[in-house]
A and B are shown apart, each in its own frame.
Chain A
Amino acid sequence: MTQTAAAPPAIELVGIDKSFGQVHANRDINLAVAAGSIHGIIGENGAGKSTLMSILYGFYQADRGDILIGGQKTVIRDSAAAIAAGIGMVHQHFMLVENFTVLENVMLGAEGGATLARGTAAAREELKRIEREYGLDVDPDAVIEELPVGRQQRVEILKALFRGAEILILDEPTGVLTPAEADHLFRILKVLKEQGKTVILITHKLREIMAITDTVSVMRRGELVATRRTAETTVEELAELMVGRRVLLRVDKGPAAPREVRLGVENLTVRDGRGVTMVDDVSFAVRAGEIVGIAGVAGNGQSELLEAIAGIRRPASGTITLGGKSVGGLDPAALRRRGLAHVPEDRHHMGLVLPFEENENAILGYHGAPEYCRGPFLSLDAMRRDAKAKIEKYDIRPPNCRLRTANFSGGNQQKIVLAREIERDPDVLIIGQPTRGVDIGAIEFIHRRIVEMRDAGKAILLVSVELDEIRALADRILVMFAGRVVGEERPDCGEQTLGMMMAGVSGGQGASA
């Protein structure tokens, strides 16, 4: 796996340096990745991982430093140049045309000729060959928006391979995947490696690093602080290198003391835009002082359930109560006033208005609250003061409340949403994927805040595709499958049991209240 001396490294970065105004995102980075290996990059939110990869892919130009591809110094001005140099990238947020087919997406930008017909036939053949070779398994004629995320991601990989990528960069590819989908992705990456391709993988999940990479680099505050052979390091060492202190990889919490019911859901049925039943006659209750987790493979109705409770989606039937009073038909603003806070699963789509300044996003949904307003005017002073306090408390980096939210790293954006919702001190908190894209140091902090909320007597409903996270935080676990709650388990039940229930094999104590 390590081609020393003989072959030049697939990629060599020499003294790469990049600043955005005050933020020094990459400092004098030196890195060599051997051809035919899988190299992991880890680091805290805002450490500069995505920036470094963006430089490699031609999105940004480094202020200083050189890029060597296969030993050749290469100037990468834009993504076209990166593709020409054999570099492909799978973005954290896919860049596919939603209503095009797989084949059309793959061909986009490589249509080859004025009429599509000839190019299409050739492309279809090539696509089939690549799919066979790497076990990618996607239907060329499927329309993107109808594919689950895992497959959409494979289309991104296909696209890169179709363009002749020898080096594949994946930026947090598993953030949106179910465990099964992630396994499939890793199988694909292994095949790629066997075929001699080089893979760079950015992730926050140390387990994945240990499972699949050959070498791993750690970034901290813009610097590359260490590179290790994966076989010679441990999760604990990596965690410490990342954060600069020992990290508790486990949640510390006492037993729950549940009290009265705060959030009640009875016989709730929710249909999507096409009339398909996504949530099917679901009933449960969340009490003050407990965390109820909803486990399940993504796409089994959890998202729709959250949206219905948050007032974003109108249920087809059933009742939702807050503090014993029915709140059916209330809009999200009215629900917030009644003490419901909602951390949405998808921060880009819902939780944030990306071009807004950080302090503007820090009040989204609460922008009508009296403390942020003076009559019809916004009180910029109050907004900024408040944003600064949250930035400090949640260690959001860079600590600049006037920065456009789009310019924060993914994990820091998530912290902006969490700070906004948690600091309102709501009675009921519903959270979707709280730590998606968040680094382990911050996960520790977020988990602690959620447990503190519980201990302060709040009712918390948590949806996560991370089974570990649910098991660590929840006091009770409901398992959803095909829109129904198929069982309830205690967090100390075996992973096997939960896995079976999530796959639709009934178990546990049956559907429960």
Chain B
Amino acid sequence: MSRPFGQLPGWADYVLMPVLNLGVAFGISALVVLFIGESPWEALTTMLDGALGRGEGIGYTLFYATNFIFTGLAVSVAFHCGLFNIGGEGQAYIGGLGAALVALAFDQVLPWWLTAPIAILAAASFGAAWALIPAWLQATRGSHIVITTIMFNFIAAALMVYLLVNVLKVPGAMAPETRTFAAGGQLPKLGWLLELFGLKIGAAPFNVSFLIALVAAFGVWVLIWRTRFGYEIRATGISPSAAIYAGIPYVRLVVVTMLISGGLAGMMALNPVMGDAQRLQVEFVGGAGFVGIAVALMGRSHPLGIVFAAILFGVLYQGGAELAFWIPTISRDMIIVIQGLVILFAGALEHMFRPALVALFARAIPARAG
């Protein structure tokens, strides 16, 4: 082909661009902080110290990152197939139901390491099931998956509140939540892992789910770049017409891809439900499904990029909480604004600086032949 549109060297695409986006987001955040009369520098150091300064902070950061790895992977798998799965939020929520039901059933009879695999399966299949109908509608009817998955988020929220209030709630208790799981339904903390680095985990809920997330990330890499099915996903995502030519069955591919995506989102529930709260609560997903979109974009839909981007967002979440605690004029809402800016620049406006950067490189590189 003779259509040489803006290509950047790999390192610029994968490192420089995200750093640039992040820099701009932080720059604007600094202005906001300045505007309310606080020192941006102090805010930044407070935030970084809170997220990375001590073992407990790191534990929290990685705990949040675990959520985002799962949801980021979920979004990226669908992305590769040209599908925009906005339903991670709902799929994770329903995945929590699967995990909780398994934990409630087995926590008093099985040790955690036997409950966990069943719970993983249950969380993944519940999440996948929640993606099935939007996938089916997209594949056979062309109903846009963005719309249907958003609708399914609302249905999931309503369904879960109904179940928690009317079915799963402990009789006589006030809170709409299940009973606390016994030890057999709890995922152990990873204190030992932090201790290897001389850190103390403290109260942080950093748990085994993190390792499961890393395994899932590796699995997604293998799936997309090393299997026949991943080849078909990529071909369909890039060129649907070439995929038809190649005889790749569209309906089956879309449905299975969305099941995998929903399954990954569902597995996210393991972390807060079995790793932290030890019970199923309303709204436990807390927006992680949506953050996953920004994480996938920033991580260029590559598992390694997603892990890094997820950790970055973990820092933002944990650091933001610390910031709100230590500098009272910076309220929680302010933190949400800052997180929003990062999502805006790293996610939605991710390619804003690309044309300028491409032009810059086109100008700077010729000097270096080859």
Chain A residues engaging chain B, CB cutoff 8 angstroms? 17, 19-22, 50-51, 53-54, 59-64, 77-78, 91-93, 171, 310-312, 331-336, 342, 344, 348-356, 360, 364-365, 367-368, 373, 376-378, 380, 406-410, 413
The verdict on B213 contacting chain A, using a C-beta distance below 8 Å, is: no
How many B residues face the partner with a CB closer than 8 A?
34
The answer to whether A19 and B232 have CB atoms under 8 Å apart is no
- B279 proximity list for chain A (CB < 8 A): none
- A350 proximity list for chain B (CB < 8 A): 241-242, 244-245
**Which residue from A21, A51, A376 sits with its C-beta under 8 Å from B229?**
A376
Instruction: Identify 18 new A-B residue pairs, CB closer than 8 A, beyond the known A350-B245, A353-B238.
Output: A51-B2, A53-B2, A61-B362, A61-B366, A64-B366, A171-B2, A333-B247, A334-B247, A342-B245, A350-B242, A353-B234, A353-B243, A356-B235, A364-B235, A365-B246, A365-B247, A367-B228, A376-B227
The verdict on B137 contacting chain A, using a C-beta distance below 8 Å, is: no
Residues of B331-366 contacting chain A, CB below 8 A: 359, 362-363, 365-366
What 0/1 pattern do residues 248 to 291 of B give for CB contact below 8 A with A?
Answer: 11000000000000000000000000000000000000000000
Q: How far is it, in angstroms, between the C-alpha of A331 and the C-alpha of B238 when the chains are bound?
A: 20
Q: How far is it, in angstroms, between the C-alpha of A261 and the C-alpha of B244 when the chains are bound?
A: 27
The answer to whether B247 and A348 have CB atoms under 8 Å apart is no
Q: How far is it, in angstroms, between the C-alpha of A156 and the C-alpha of B362 when the chains are bound?
A: 26
The answer to whether B245 and A351 have CB atoms under 8 Å apart is yes
The answer to whether B228 and A368 have CB atoms under 8 Å apart is yes
Pull 7 A–B residue pairs with CB atoms less than 8 Å apart, ordered by A. A59-B4, A349-B241, A354-B238, A355-B238, A377-B228, A408-B1, A410-B2
The verdict on B171 contacting chain A, using a C-beta distance below 8 Å, is: no
Who on chain A is nearest to B222 by CB?
A377
Residues of B208-227 contacting chain A, CB below 8 A: 222, 226-227
**Which residue from B231, B245, B367, B368 sits with its C-beta under 8 Å from A378?**
B231
- B229 proximity list for chain A (CB < 8 A): 376
User: Could you tell me the distance in whole angstroms from the C-beta of B236 to the nearest C-beta in chain A?
Assistant: 9
The answer to whether B228 and A376 have CB atoms under 8 Å apart is yes
The verdict on A377 contacting B239 (CB below 8 Å), with A19-B369, A336-B247 known, is no
The verdict on A353 contacting B235 (CB below 8 Å), with A365-B245, A367-B246 known, is yes
Who on chain A is nearest to B367 by CB?
A63
Q: How far is it, in angstroms, between the C-alpha of A355 and the C-alpha of B370 when the chains are bound?
A: 21
Who on chain B is nearest to A413 by CB?
B1
**Which residue from A62, A91, A342 sits with its C-beta under 8 Å from B2?**
A91
Who on chain A is nearest to B362 by CB?
A61
User: Could you tell me the distance in whole angstroms from the C-beta of A41 to the nearest C-beta in chain B?
Assistant: 13
The verdict on A378 contacting B226 (CB below 8 Å), with A19-B370, A331-B249, A356-B234 known, is yes
The answer to whether A351 and B359 have CB atoms under 8 Å apart is no
The interface centre, meaning the residue of B5, B242, B366 with most chain A CB atoms within 10 A of its CB, is: B242
Q: How far is it, in angstroms, between the C-alpha of A50 and the C-alpha of B4 when the chains are bound?
A: 10
User: Could you tell me the distance in whole angstroms from the C-beta of B240 to the nearest C-beta in chain A?
Assistant: 10
